[in-house]
Structure formats: structure tokens, C-alpha cells
Amino acid sequence: MNIAIIGAGPRGLSLCERLIAQASINQQSLSLTLIDPYPPGGAIWQTNQPQSLLLNSVTSQVTLFTDETLETGGPINPGPSLYEWAKKDGRNFAKKNQPSLVSEIDKLDPDGHCSRALYGLYQKWFYQQLVETLPPFITFTYLQENAIGLIPKQTHYLLKTDRHSLQSDRVILAVGHHQVLLTEEEDRLNEFARQKGFLYSPPQNAADVDFNKVKGGEHVILRGLGLAFFDYVTRLTTDRGGVFIGSDRLRYIPSGNEPTIIAGSGRGLPYHARGANQKHPTEQILPRFLTTERLRSWQAKGQDQSTEFFFYLQKEMELVYYQRWLSQESEDDQAAFTEQFVRQNGAADVLTDFQIPRQNWLDWRYIFDPYKRKKSQSVRDFLMTYLTWDVTEAAKGNLTSPISSMFELLKDLRDPVRFMLDQQLFSPKALKEKFWQSFVPLNAFLSIGTPLQRIRELIALIEADIVTILGPKMIVEESGTFVAYSACYPQQRYAAKQILEARIQSTDIRRTANPLLRQLLADGIASPHKLYIPKEAPFYTGAIAIDPATSQLLDPNDQIQEGLYCFGIPTEGIHWLTAATAQPGTNAFNLRQADQIAAHCLTSSLLGDRSCLQ
């Protein structure tokens, strides 16, 4: 059997490993072809990118290997986490392949954040292990090329790259983030910049931006305050010679080459800092409300359970918050509180019974919108108070701070969320409004935060007048120059001739600029996924349509394209958090999916008659 995998990032590599492992069970003859214009690791994890760009997960909680927690039935091939690999084999591998990373490996912290380049090197080593340990009945070819076309034939697919054509019985798309077409607004700003001789940079990975075009000493507008924002800020400050001094409270010494950064977003706040890690690599907090029994009971009902789900999700977070608060007082109180809080479904009476002062009760209004705490102070003063509080809570740790522990819990509850999605226990309307439009951005703000160090640095940059953050609802207009301001505080306006979209590309498949994906859509082989909501226009989730049971593509008539699979980021909108790394000892979602796709590829029948598609 010939199988082609398009995309050599962590998902493509995991698919290769799972296919090899599955085929080895019965010594099934297999020819694998892995296709990517970049070396193993793909575009995002290039080993020659600046080491200042950090992986968001801590090094001990990243793996590419399966372990005994895998529940999908495939063979287990254990191996080292990123941190374990670095300490055992990483140094010698780096000396031979990327010497610039040796010093980073020597200082690596299991609870710290490494560079993306080092994670890319781990992926290269993983790929090399696959190649060096191949059984004789499996061949493996790597094509460092662009996949540009796919034609269904009667019994196979004809796959075209920019240099080759090859026949494949199965094709798996694991393309990751890809270039997209500009939105109408982005196109307008880009055209304005072109006419005026200004700078406009569209959304993209910070490693791919030509920051040499950004002029120092001038204003530059950054749109976006998520994870990519901190990459952009780093490239424009310390990567230009600036220096932070101090430890907990930092001071920034400018180089003089920095621009003045004007930044904003819809929420007007950066993501919360990640709590200092206190968890073992495989440690997860088990749910007390969203239990397997409760989820199964909802599954048996087979109807919309969105209201109940989000109520209990909130109670899970409240429970952890109050447990951590009480642990500062008495372990006995914490155990008794937990029992009563769960039994009474988190009723406020429990807080009174345990004499928790009213000022320490969790107020969800301020969690959802911290700006509600802003009084008469300036935006800058409010931000400095808010960011300092955020750093203080994060520094206490993700098992100690009530706030950081509560946010960390959202990571441990991802599987109950995915269960609700997989079992279709949200109505289409709830899926659109409560999940994708409300919960998903809030979850990102609360739990997919940047390393603590980055918020410390941001405070120092604001104090040094290098960074100014606007209030909520950022607006950019063209008025002689670019003009940026907050709709909530329109009197504070900033003019600039440079604007960078400080965010990664959209995952909306309708805007893809990837030639292969565009061809599949144009030829009716693939289609955008949409939700049908009574009395409303269809809601396009941004995902490519797949059969959830097998991950095979669906055409515009919802017909399965046998043998053509999609895995990972293009399915965001059906699946959730497809860009997350796999954590060891947690039955990781990405590895489960890879195992299931591999099993289906190898056990399903060969392609049927496709003459009608020729």
C-alpha cells in the first residue's frame, strides 16, 4: 500500500510513526511518502529560526511518543519527552545538526519554556529514529517539495508536487498553518500602504516576517495581543539589542533601534500569564462535576446539553479556586468544603458555611472582562495594576494560586469538552454562539497564555515607553497615515506609517491560499464545513468538512472521499485546539487521532470505482 502524508510537522510525523507501528503488527507491506517544502518539523518549527521565539508549553509536558495511557488500541511505542530527550540525546544531536542550540540544552528547565527551534530539533531526531528503525517491509521517502494538486483515479490518487507526480492509495493532509488570502479590511490597509509607501505586514508566523523593514524610532501598530504578539514584541526589542535587567521586577534598557509599539485587540488585554509550573509531566486534575457518569447520561439523552455543560464547567473552576484559597487555611476545611460544594452543586451557601469572606468570592464579571474593574484611572495605570496582579498570581504557581490553578484546570478539562463536541451534545446554535464565538476566545484568553517572563517583560516595556496598549475594541483607520485607537477611549489616537498584524493566519479554509487545498475545493473534492441553524444562514466554522468518524474528506454533497484524510489544523471548527502539543501520560488527543487514522488507512478496503470523477 502506498500512503502519502502532506505536512511534516508534529502531526505528520505522528502519523508516520503510527502507520509504521500499525503496519508492523502484521508485517504489512507499506510505502510511505512524507511531503513538505521544509525539512522534518515543517515551517513553524524550523531549527534556524531565532531562539528568542518560545514554545508555549513547558519542556517536560511535550512528547511525540505514545504511552500506556493511549486508549485507541494501537501499539505502544514509548519514548522520551522533549525534556528527557534533550538531557539524554539532545546535546550530541544538536552538536551534529544545530550547534547553536547546545547552550540552550545545557540550561534547559523541565518547568521552563524552550525555543521553537529546539522543539523542531526534537522533531528532526524523532524523524531520524523512524528512518533508522524501519522494518524491511516498509519504505519511507521524504520529498522536500510543495504538494500542488490531487486527482482521484479509479483505484488511487494522482498526487502532484512542484517536481513530481506519484500514485497513492491513501493521502493524508496534515498541512498545519498555511497562507491565507487577505480579508477585505486587510486588503484595504495593504492597498493604502502600497499607495503611500508605508509598511503593511499581513498575519503570519513571526519567524517569517522581515522585521528589517520596520523602522526604529517610529511608531508601529501591532494588531493582536495573543501569543504571536509577544513574538513580534521580542523581535522588535531584545532582538534589536535591548536588554532586560533584574529578576522578578524587570527594567528595560533600550538599544535605540526599537520602534515605539502601539498595540491593541478586541479585548484590549494580553492573554493571562501561564502559572509557574508545579505539576508533574503527566499530572492532571480529575473533574468532580463533569464526570464520565454525567457525560454518559447526557450522551444517552442525545440532546442539547450546552447550558448544563457550561454551568458545571464553571463550577469545576470555582471548586479549584476555593480549594486553593482554603488550602492556605486548613487541609481539613478543604476536604470538607469539597464534599459539600460538590454535593450542593456549588451553591453560594457553601461559601457562607465555610466563612469565606465575601471579598474573596470569585466574581465572574471580572474574569470575563477585567476592564470592569477600571475606575477613573488612565488605561496605562489600569493596565499596570492589572498586569502586576497577573504576574503575582502566576508566580505563585499553577497548583498554589487560586487564579492560576483555576485557569490551569481548563487544560485538564479539554477531554470533557471534546466529548461534548464528538457526541454532538451542543445544538448547532449553541455550538456557534456558546462554544465557538464565546467559550473558545475566552478559553484562549484564560488558559493558553504566554510564559510568565513575557508579561514581566511587557510591564518593563510599558514603563520604558516602548509599548503602549490601547483599550478594548481596537480600530485602525486611514487618515493620511494609519491611525489606531480604542473605541472605548477614542480621544487617545496614534498615527503610524507601519502596521503589523501580530497574529497567526486564520484557519478558515475558505480563505486558504494553499494551492492544493484551493484545488480540492474548486474541484468539489473538498468543501467548507458549516452548521445549519433554523431560521439563520448557514454558519461556516472555518474547518474543511470531514467525516468525524474516519477523518475522511467530504465533498459538497457530504459524500466521503474514500482514502483522502485530513488531520489537525484545517479541521479546527469541527475539532478543537488542533494546534496543541501532546502531553505525556494523558492519552493525548493528537496521538489518539493519529492512531485512529492510521488504523483506518491500513484496514479499510482499497478505493472503489472513481471513474465518475476522472
Give the integer Cα–Cα distance in Å for 435 and 439.
5
How confident is the model at residue 610, as a pLDDT? 40
| Cell numbers that stand for 548 in this block | 468525524
How confident is the model at residue 332, as a pLDDT? 74
Instruction: Provide the angle, in degrees to the nearest 10, between the axes of the packed helices 589-603 and 10-25.
Output: 50
Give the integer Cα–Cα distance in Å for 583 and 66.
10
- Between strands 560-566 and 170-173, the pairing is parallel
Nearest alpha carbon to residue 589 among 575, 570, 600: 575
Extract long-range pairs of 133-140: CB within 8 Å, 24+ residues apart: 134/20, 135/20, 135/24, 135/27, 137/23, 137/27, 137/28, 137/29, 137/30, 138/20, 138/23, 138/24, 138/29, 138/30, 138/31, 138/32, 139/30, 139/31, 139/32, 140/16, 140/20, 140/32, 140/33, 140/34
3-state secondary structure of 548: coil
Across the chain, what does the average pLDDT equal? Answer: 96
pTM, two decimal places: 0.96
3-state secondary structure of 43: coil
> What are the CA-CA distances from residue 266 to residues 374, 445, 545 (Å)?
17, 12, 29
What is the CA 41 to chain-centroid distance, rounded?
A: 16
Give the integer Cα–Cα distance in Å for 402 and 319.
10
How confident is the model at residue 333, as a pLDDT? 86
Give the integer Cα–Cα distance in Å for 568 and 581.
11
Residues in the chain predicted with pLDDT less than 50, given as ranges, are: 607-614
User: From edge to edge, which strands make up the β-sheet containing 165-168?
Assistant: 147-152, 157-161, 165-168
